[in-house]
Amino acid sequence: MRQKKISAEGRSFGNAFRGMGTLLKSQPHARFHLLATVAVIALGVFCRISRGEWLAIVLAVGLVWLAEGLNTALELLANALALGHHPLIKKAKDVAAAAVLLSALAALAIGLIVFLPRIF
């Protein structure tokens, strides 16, 4: 019985990693977010930011990745459901894209608040 549970958990992680691969392979913005994530982590280490600042950075980065992942999932589902143009699906995709943009702008603001005083 225990082996089945471990196996199911292993499959769940495998599915998640496949999803990350799909996200990075199919979405140019996700690759940009990956580059930005690595840069921000490196800058945080270099600047020796505080624990509280790390919490803000991790939360901001996580929210951007969450929004990007949900946006991609919605787009894939919408494309599977409607082979042609549908105005409501376009609106849903636009709203999901706006969520990614808003989360990225919030993350940028947090990054500026944390790093600008150290740079200047």
Catalytic residue list: 68
Return contacts of 53-61, CB within 8 angstroms, 24+ apart.
Answer: 53/114, 56/110, 56/113, 56/114, 57/110, 57/111, 57/114, 60/103, 60/106, 60/107, 60/110, 60/111, 61/37, 61/107
Taking the C-alpha atoms of residue 52 and residue 50, their distance in angstroms, rounded to an integer, is 5
Taking the C-alpha atoms of residue 88 and residue 75, their distance in angstroms, rounded to an integer, is 12
Strands (DSSP E) contained in 47-93 are none
